[in-house]
Structure 1
């Protein structure tokens, strides 16, 4: 068993524009694992959709990162940084299935927080069925669940996600860093 000092070093590296198609594929492969575990199949659509991923890449203040463990790509993250309000968002976050259970996600989140120390509030979302994500955000990273979006309380400013497994039900999380 490795000691903490021997454990992998987790860092972030900006994704070059030319790497975005491969990043998108790795993201989808990772997200598909949870859908298959919960529902047995991904279904007809790609998860997340091209529109969702592309809009995250192109959002104002967005930054796209590879997550590296000892220099090897093991995941990725897309954040949106609002310099004026410092209410920032973790839009997409994934660790490859082969790298789950080694503390890489927690270290990657710590690296993101360290990269943006002026953040007042972080926000993120995850589907209701993604128990592993819910555990990660609440128990490992210190987020609080602040909204549950469903048929009678839909995501604001977004079309319904009926095509998503589970009918598009999502939790919204916040982590208050400072006032």
Structure 2
């Protein structure tokens, strides 16, 4: 059996400016699958798109990364690196739905951790309904749930109603390195 069949190599590569439209579309497609699987449809404003993605990709310290498996694009990540505090954020992370269940997400996450060894704390968020993500971050990657956002405890960074199904309830995770 070839090495690729046994242990695919997962690497990271920066997103070039000319790749940005395709990167954003791949991200939208990946997020849409999860919402449709859970709710049977894709309500308007239920996933990050257009201006929301543009805004998240222009925050100071943002790094856009392709996730590659044996040289082929299988996903992506948007990380925000704070070199002063070393409290970094995984803002967006996706693996193509056709590649789920192969361990590629975990390999990609460990590659991100290796890329930023000075990180003291990683932070990320995921919607309450995303059980697969919650399992991934807590059971596979070692994050801890540190906060739950709801109508009774809104996220101070994203106040107001959310277009997310399930009322916009979100978990915030941290991983102390």
Q: TM-score per shorter chain, which class?
A: over 0.9
The residue number in structure 2 matching 1:139 is: 139
The residue number in structure 2 matching 1:37 is: 37
| Aligned-residue offset at 1:163 | 1.7
| Aligned-residue offset at 1:167 | 1.1
Structure 1 unaligned blocks of 5 or more: none
The residue number in structure 2 matching 1:98 is: 98
| Aligned-residue offset at 1:161 | 3.8
Structure 1 stretches of 4+ with a deviation exceeding 4 A read: 1-5
The residue number in structure 1 matching 2:13 is: 13
TM-score (norm 1): 0.94
TM-score (norm 2): 0.95
CA RMSD of aligned residues (A): 1.7
| Aligned-residue offset at 1:5 | 8.8
| Aligned-residue offset at 1:3 | 7.5
| Aligned-residue offset at 1:46 | 5.7
Structure 2 unaligned blocks of 5 or more: none
Alignment partner of 1:58: what SS? coil
The residue number in structure 1 matching 2:173 is: 173
In 2: Cα distance, 1:30 partner to 1:173 partner: 21
1:65-84 maps to which residues of 2 (within 5 A)? 65-84=65-84
In 2: Cα distance, 1:147 partner to 1:46 partner: 21
> How many residues end up aligned between the 2 structures?
177
Q: Would you say the 8 A contact 1:28–1:46 is kept in 2?
A: no
